[in-house]
Chain A
């Protein structure tokens, strides 16, 4: 499997994928026209036809055996740049009176655009048939090597919005207790409209005054900053890379935003440059194992590639590739590549 930028011919595959993603992946709209616009934007971004802040880097994971698209992921260069980016910031209000011996800290939600200008990792979706063999890890983390290579094109901070908690029926307690009063629509409808890029309605309908959290329902209070159970593994992965909850939540479902300085992301910070040597007795990666694997990128921009190799193929400053691996990465002997361990070292490894 390898990662490459999306191409104009990917449109049908992307639409199929959107149909499969369902509620919760707001950046993957099930609407061909919108998807085409998104694809066009990504293609223009890799062609450097758009201003840096407007760019959306959309990547596809390819199964080299069939050339089928197995998944996609994206990097947004700068959020809130051509529309308005909203979050609730979980702040505090303190009420205290010495006279009657009261000191109360009240969680308070403040509508904010604070994350404007950050970069975002988004739109991760892997087809169910491919959810194995470290494909999820490869797909998600391929973006960090792009960030490491082209830091000047991104913001100081990188964020990820996590899908918020909802029950088996898809009911979001935060939406029921807060948004519904102002939007008069179902969560899935609001979610769909946001996915279409229809942000104006948020500004028109969203409550502008701060919200005292204790005034929300008990289950809504508990759901603020809590991820959907299906999203727990993704959250753990991000945390292991150095991301952390930054106090901002989604205005609809209360899902947390996690963030990190780009330079502090483990896969960015620890990545190193190597020189390629091509030889066919290179040890193959064992994709059934979690350790012993490394991500390798070809350091190119419009022809960016990433795939997984056996860490044992790295020898000093030389990185060995098989002919097939070199073909997937579109590199030749003597080229420079960037690599990093797929997973951070666990404390027990020391």
Chain B
């Protein structure tokens, strides 16, 4: 059975193996054992902290096949983008250069460095075993985070953002990076990406160009890639659009990929979610739902069938109850798959 649960230190080697197998890069999960261990530690603290905990926290989930204890993916939430540091983006804006006298008017797109998204809730660290990237496991792993937030909404910002992977080629060359960041960082895209996950964040503030950038001065390929996602992120984009996320004027400062935003309470999962008491039952059938317990430190989420109805309780399959560690009368949350 596929279950999403908090990560723990035992998962370390499995996550490493997973990161080496995935094709899309995962900037927020470093391929560096010490840093990865640090991330898991931070997540551990976050899950163990109380509901009334304040300040930035970082939750890291894993997707496990409980039948054979295989780890199949990761996903995460930062309660505050930037985690207390500036969170960098470019804001795509425009300036109009017009002369009435000369009958010339051009609206020139300009990229402005921005910290505007700092402090909003950030979905991140998504990676999934390539074998499962086209299955419902993908939806489970991604949306489990939304059910988690539904159980603990006061812990998150009302606006949720996601940075979508921008365009780079098979060799790891990224036209947007080559046109912008490379001039100032003096390193190639992969190296920059690596540093981003393993170095302190100050290097970003030190190196990123502060002056606005006139888009027409960039090579055409780089211009065309602004706000465009890598094809490997198509499925993720579709999922987020269905949830009610939309593109913003913000882009990733490294690869130019789009930043999506959604209002937490208006996301499909949060609008559809039901909170009821579990009644484990051998009755099967009904429609597929994402079902989770409502524990913070021992959060579990899986896919199961149920028949929604009125009343305080809801029947769920016994194997689901077992996977979620819930007994008769325990609170659960569920939303349509």
Contacts and interface: CB of A to CB of B under 8 A. Distances in A.
A205 B104 contact: yes
B207 A181 contact: no
A198 B104 CA distance: 14
Interface string B93-108: 0010111011010101
Interface string B205-220: 0111111111011100
Interface string B157-191: 00000000000000000000001100111110000
Interface stretch (A31-39, A211-219, A238-246, A304-312): A211-219
A301 interface: no
A209 B187 CA distance: 25
B99 A205 contact: yes
Interface residues of B, number: 34
A209 B211 contact: yes
Contact of A215 (B110, B183, B202): B183
A83 B108 CA distance: 26
Q: Select the residue from B99, B179, B200 with max chain A CB neighbours within 10 A.
A: B99
Contact of A99 (B98, B110, B200, B208): B200
Contacts of A181: 106, 108, 214, 216-217
A99 B102 CA distance: 50
Nearest to B198: A100
Interface string B76-120: 000000000000000000010111011010101010000000000
Contacts of A178: 217
A97 B101 CA distance: 47
B271 interface: no
B199 interface: yes
Interface string B121-159: 000000000000000000000000000000000000000
B268 interface: no
A80 B99 CA distance: 21
A216 B183 CA distance: 11
A184 B186 contact: no
B272 to A, nearest CB: 45
Given A102-B185, A184-B104, A209-B110, A204 B211 contact: no
| SS of A interface (majority) | mixed
Contacts of A204: 97-99, 101
A300 B208 CA distance: 59
A200 B183 contact: no
Contacts of B212: 209
B209 A97 contact: no
Contact of B214 (A100, A104, A108, A207): A207
25 contacts: A93-B211, A95-B184, A96-B206, A97-B202, A99-B203, A100-B195, A100-B199, A100-B203, A104-B183, A104-B186, A108-B211, A182-B106, A183-B97, A185-B102, A201-B99, A201-B104, A204-B99, A204-B101, A205-B97, A205-B98, A205-B99, A206-B97, A214-B183, A215-B179, A215-B183
Interface of A: 93, 95-97, 99-100, 102, 104, 106, 108, 177-178, 181-185, 193, 198, 200-201, 204-212, 214-216
Contacts of B195: 100
Contacts of B183: 104, 106, 212, 214-215
Contacts of A193: 102
Contact of B101 (A106, A201, A206): A201
Given A99-B206, A177-B217, 11 more contacts: A95-B185, A95-B208, A97-B206, A99-B200, A102-B187, A102-B207, A106-B184, A185-B102, A201-B99, A204-B101, A207-B97
A297 B200 CA distance: 69
A205 B101 CA distance: 11
Contacts of B186: 102, 104
Nearest to A207: B214
Contact of A212 (B97, B110, B203, B209): B209
Contacts of A99: 199-200, 202-203, 206
A95 B202 contact: no
B106 A184 contact: yes
Contacts of B184: 95, 104, 106
